Every structure is written in C-alpha cells, then in structure tokens.
C-alpha cells in the first residue's frame, strides 16, 4: 500500500467514501472504513504528484516533438537548404516555447515537492524521536532518511525532478538548433548572393 502515489491514495480514499455512502452492507462498509483509515494513515507521507498519465503523455509528446525537430535539423545538407532550415527554425521556436511553459510548471512543482519532502522527513524524524526508538540526533537523522515512508516520498520527488530535467535538456537542445539554423541560414544566403552575382557576371561576359 505504501508504494501507491499520493494521487492514487487520494483516489482510493474518495472511492471508499462513495462506497460507504452507497447501499452496501454494514459489514462491507465497516471493512471499507478500515481500508480508508489505513489509506489516510499513509497519505501524509506521499508527495502530491501533479503528473498523471495524461499529463505525462502531454509532456512526452512535447519532448518527442523536440527530438524529431533536432533529428531533421541534423539530416539537412549543410547550408544549401535555406528554406528547409528556416522552416525548422520556426518549428523549433514554437516547440521551445511549449517546453518553456511545461518546464516552468514542473520547476515550480519541484520546489513545492522539495519542501514537502523536507516536511515528511521532519515528521518521521519527530515520530522516531518521540517513540524513543532513536536516542541521539545522529540516529534520528540516519533512521529518518532510511525510513520507507521517506524513501517513497523521495521517489515521488525524484520522478518529478527527472521529468523537469528531461524537459529542460530538450529545450536547451532546441536552443542550439535555433542558433544553428540562424547561422546556417545567414551563411547560405551569403552563398546564394555570391552565386547569383557570379552568374550575372558570367552572363554579362557571354560565358552563359
């Protein structure tokens, strides 16, 4: 049970409430009430996790889009396809803006999750100290960090942090793609002007 996320625990608690408000037998309701009590006992030791399956898919779609743009940029031949580079630059700017929005949300949530993790660690440490299980400050620190409740909360935080870092990394990749496109477009246009000038000179000299 302790392996469930905060969101899933809250969902199960709400499900218990709906069942107990229904027409089940008193025995079943008592059993569900006991399950709810157990869920509520663990819920305070999990970090609120905003990234459900739908949100994670949305984030990964944005990440996959960034990867596709970067791959197409790499596959373009040198400086010759100015139009292709310009199209990729425009796509990369839009995709980078989307990743910026996502990263801002995830970064803020990471800050909140970090505070929640500290609060959970403090709460567990206090329980260990009050119970007399730990006699020294060093013992409290060591045992609280190794406590399963703290470890599970840390997993929530790490999962959110990894997703935030992934999004930031892809955004930085797109920043490099945009910069590369701008540079290559500039060089390519210089080459187009030079080639056009060479062709005009050759035409004037009767070489074409």
More confident residue, 2 or 160: 160
pLDDT 10s digits, 120-131: 888 888 877 887
Rounded to two decimals, the pTM is 0.67
Averaged pLDDT for residues 125-145: 78
What is the pLDDT, as a whole number, of residue 196?
Answer: 40
What is the pLDDT, as a whole number, of residue 200?
Answer: 31
- At residue 208, does pLDDT exceed 50? no
Q: Which candidate, 73, 74, 156, places its Cα nearest to that of 117?
A: 156
What is the pLDDT, as a whole number, of residue 100?
Answer: 95
Q: Which candidate, 176, 158, 46, places its Cα nearest to that of 106?
A: 158
CA dihedral 20, 21, 26, 30 (to 10 degrees): 20
Contacts with 165 (C-beta within 8 Å, 6 or more apart), sequence order = none
What is the spatial distance between Cα 121 and Cα 148, in angstroms, rounded to a whole number? 11
pLDDT band (50, 70, 90) for residue 36: low
pLDDT band (50, 70, 90) for residue 51: low
Averaged pLDDT for residues 72-90: 86
pLDDT 10s digits, 143-183: 777 787 788 788 888 888 999 999 999 999 999 999 999 98
């Amino acid at each position: 049970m302790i392996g469930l996320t905060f969101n899933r625990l809250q969902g199960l608690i709400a499900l218990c409430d709906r069942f107990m408000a229904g027409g089940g037998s008193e025995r079943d309701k008592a059993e569900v009430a006991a399950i709810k009590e157990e869920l509520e006992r663990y819920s305070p030791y999990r970090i609120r996790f905003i990234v459900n399956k739908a949100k994670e898919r949305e984030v990964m779609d944005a990440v996959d889009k960034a990867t596709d743009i970067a791959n197409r940029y790499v596959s373009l031949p040198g400086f010759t396809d100015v139009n292709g580079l310009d199209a990729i630059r425009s796509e990369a700017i839009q995709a980078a803006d989307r990743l910026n929005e996502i990263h801002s949300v995830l970064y803020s949530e990471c800050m909140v999750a970090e505070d929640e993790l500290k609060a959970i660690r403090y709460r567990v440490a206090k329980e260990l100290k009050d119970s007399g299980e730990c006699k020294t400050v060093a013992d409290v620190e060591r045992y609280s960090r190794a406590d399963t409740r703290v470890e599970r909360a840390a997993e929530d935080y790490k999962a959110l942090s990894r997703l935030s870092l992934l999004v930031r990394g892809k955004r930085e990749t797109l920043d490099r793609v945009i910069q590369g496109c701008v540079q290559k477009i500039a060089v390519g246009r210089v080459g187009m002007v030079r080639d056009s000038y060479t062709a005009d000179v050759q035409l004037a000299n009767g070489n074409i």
